[in-house]
Amino acid sequence: MTTETAANARTHNVTIARAAYDAYVTKDRAALEALLAEDFHFTSPLDNRLDRETYFRRCWPNSKMIEGFDFINLVTEADRVFVTYEGRNADGHRFRNTEILTIRDGHIVDVQVYFGWSIPHRAPQGGFVDQAEHGSK
């Protein structure tokens, strides 16, 4: 693959990633369905390698609350796009996550989500949240 072709592929992958997030904002399930491969899988701290059908059943209803995404990072590496964003819900809640999208042949085949924090952060600057108080281990 030439440098120009690789650069074009990376640009195309970022466009695909942005379109997936936009589908949540515009509530356009058909647009998202067109972007996800038939063998798509989704993993998060709460979901272990969900298939496409389970992903839509479990995750798509969240689109009702999504108002927007502000992208902090969109970084490409080979067939992956590393995305850090601040999301905004219709109820005013804001949050930050990082996701790794793997894209092949113009379709998203895998998403790994790493939850971030609520905005504003629960801990004071320079401080932390006591895990014992919040049931975490």
Predicted confidence (pLDDT) per residue in 3-13, tens digit: 668 788 889 99
pLDDT computed for residue 100 by the predictor = 98
Fold of the CATH domain 3-119: Nuclear Transport Factor 2; Chain: A, (3.10.450)
Q: CA angle, 57 as apex, 67 and 106 as ends, to 5°?
A: 75
Sign, CA torsion 87/118/51/66: negative
Which residues lie across from 82 on neighbouring strands?
Answer: 75, 100
Nearest-angstrom CA–CA distance, 24 and 13:
18
Residue-range domain boundaries for the chain: 3-119
**Residue 132 in this model has a pLDDT that exceeds 70:** no
**What does each C-alpha distance from 4 to 11, 43, 103, 107 come to in angstroms?**
11, 32, 18, 21
pTM beyond cutoff 0.95: no
Q: Which helix (H) or strand (E) holds 5?
A: helix 3-26
pLDDT in tens, 44-95: 999 999 999 999 999 999 999 999 999 999 999 999 999 999 999 999 999 9
